[in-house]
């Protein structure tokens, strides 16, 4: 089969022939229908040191995906051929302390799809059946391919109380827009989005006309938010860019005793003034990573079942897998929504 493989610490991936993976008794073989480009895929593409520490080379990359089950291991009873599934990319063991205490995302024996276990930028993928989310009949593969990043946005929003709260999202890339959509469904009353890329600003304004979307190159986001909240600030800030300045703004725009969900991954260490931004405000600061397994997946399902938020328009581009270089170049520009690679 054809696949994108990270073969060395050099920049880029190789598009090459590899063997179709073989499955074990508790695995399924999935024929990939589409895989979205994640920010971590960009970091891996450029051999970012923190990502490279996690990768076991050579490795087929990619993890935001969806496909049809075409082969089932002899011990698998939960899935059958023809089921449409998306994997939880954190391959948890189910046996360690954290797995046994409802915290599988922090599994001590974690495997990572596309980093330590062969991933989804390929025609086929072998994955343990116990990490597969089965979609209802009729689910489109495109919606299935973005279920995992949808969950990141939902987790950032739902990591604390949101119903009746005001919220600001810093970084209106695809996951930021997923977060705004989720906050609307789950009861946020006043929403703000902060972004610098003009096309993303325009997309967010089109998708969420009832939210205040701020181009921070053109207006002061903290002043705008303060003016709209009687000088108090928002109840919740969700930081999704990983940018140091955006992180500082997320705290400055927060009311006293408000909650910050830190989701974006910084490129390196950053300076931060804890005293005015956290200590004096008694801010509640939460690190948010991935999804709560399986709670967040059910929350995504519930959100979609309401029909109040359609995330599919956030997919803006689709490329054949062979044209991955063009797709990654576009993803790096910051001017696109979600980008799918189709085998």
Q: What is the pLDDT of residues 147-206, one digit of tens each?
A: 999 999 999 999 999 999 999 999 999 999 999 999 999 999 999 999 999 999 999 999
Neighbour-count burial for 263-275, b at 16+ CB within 10 Å, e otherwise = bbeeeeeeeeeee
Residue 160: which of 281, 51, 27, 261 has the closest Cα? 261
- For residue 298, pLDDT over 80 is answered with yes
pLDDT bracket for residue 214 (50, 70, 90)? very high
- Least confident stretch, 36-50, 71-85, 291-305: 36-50
Mean pLDDT of the chain: 96
206 and 181 Cβ atoms separated by less than 8 Å: no
pLDDT at 267: 75
Architecture of domain 2-146+311-342: Alpha-Beta Complex (3.90)
Q: Looking at residues 58-86, what average pLDDT do you find?
A: 98
Question: Which tokens sit at 337?
Answer: 């929504």
Q: What is the pTM of this model?
A: 0.95
Assign 251 to helix, strand or coil.
Answer: helix
Average pLDDT of the residues in 42-56: 90
Task: Give per-residue pLDDT as tens, 1-38.
Answer: 999 999 999 999 999 999 999 999 999 999 999 999 99
Which tens digit of pLDDT belongs to each residue from 37-48? 998 999 899 998
* Residue 294: cis peptide before it, omega within 30 degrees of 0: yes
Residue 234 confidence (pLDDT): 98
- φ/ψ of 90, rounded to 5, equals -90, 105
Lowest mean pLDDT among 133-142, 233-242, 261-270, 321-330: 261-270
Q: What share of the chain is helix, strand, coil (3-state, %, to 5)?
A: 30, 25, 40
Query: Residue 221: its pLDDT value, please?
Result: 98
- Residue 253: the pLDDT is 98
Strands (E), the chain: 2-6, 14-17, 27-36, 59-60, 64-72, 84-87, 90-91, 111-112, 124-128, 132-134, 166-170, 190-195, 212-215, 234-239, 254-262, 284-287, 315-320, 338-342
Domain ranges of the chain: 2-146+311-342, 153-287
> Which pLDDT band, with edges at 50, 70 and 90, does 335 fall under?
confident
Q: Which CATH number applies to 153-287: 3.40.640.10, 2.130.10.10, 3.40.50.10490, 3.40.50.720?
A: 3.40.50.720
pLDDT digits (tens, 9 = 90+) for 116-154: 999 999 999 999 999 999 999 999 999 999 999 999 999
């Amino acid at each position: 089969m054809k696949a994108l493989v990270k073969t060395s610490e050099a920049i880029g991936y190789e598009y090459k022939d590899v063997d179709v993976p073989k499955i074990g008794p508790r695995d399924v073989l999935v024929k990939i229908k589409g895989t979205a480009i994640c920010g971590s895929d960009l970091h891996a593409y450029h051999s970012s040191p923190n990502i490279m520490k996690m990768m076991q080379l050579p490795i087929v990359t990619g993890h935001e995906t969806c496909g049809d089950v075409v082969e089932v291991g002899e011990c698998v009873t939960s899935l059958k051929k023809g089921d449409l599934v998306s994997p939880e990319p954190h391959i948890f063991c189910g046996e360690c302390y954290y797995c046994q205490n409802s915290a599988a995302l922090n599994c001590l024996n974690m495997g990572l799809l596309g980093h330590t276990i062969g991933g989804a930028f390929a025609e086929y993928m072998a994955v343990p059946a116990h990490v597969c989310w089965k979609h209802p009949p009729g689910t489109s593969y495109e919606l299935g391919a973005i279920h995992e990043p949808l969950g990141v946005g939902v987790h950032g929003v739902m990591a604390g109380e949101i119903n009746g709260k005001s919220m600001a999202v810093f970084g209106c890339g695809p996951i930021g827009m997923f977060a705004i959509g989720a906050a609307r469904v789950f009861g946020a009353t006043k929403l703000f989005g902060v972004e610098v890329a003009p096309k993303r600003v325009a997309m967010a304004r089109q998708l969420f006309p009832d939210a205040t979307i701020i181009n921070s190159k053109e207006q002061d986001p903290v002043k705008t938010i303060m003016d709209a909240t009687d000088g108090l600030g928002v109840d919740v800030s969700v930081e999704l860019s990983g940018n140091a300045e955006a992180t500082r703004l997320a705290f400055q725009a927060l009311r006293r005793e408000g909650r910050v969900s830190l989701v974006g991954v910084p490129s390196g260490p950053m300076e931060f003034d804890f005293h005015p931004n956290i200590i004096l405000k008694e801010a509640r600061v939460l690190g948010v990573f991935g999804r709560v397994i399986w709670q967040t997946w059910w929350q995504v399902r519930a959100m979609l079942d309401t029909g109040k938020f359609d995330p599919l328009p956030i997919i803006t581009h689709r490329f054949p897998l062979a044209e991955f270089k063009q797709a990654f170049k576009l993803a790096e520009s910051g001017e696109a929504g979600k980008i799918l690679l189709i085998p």
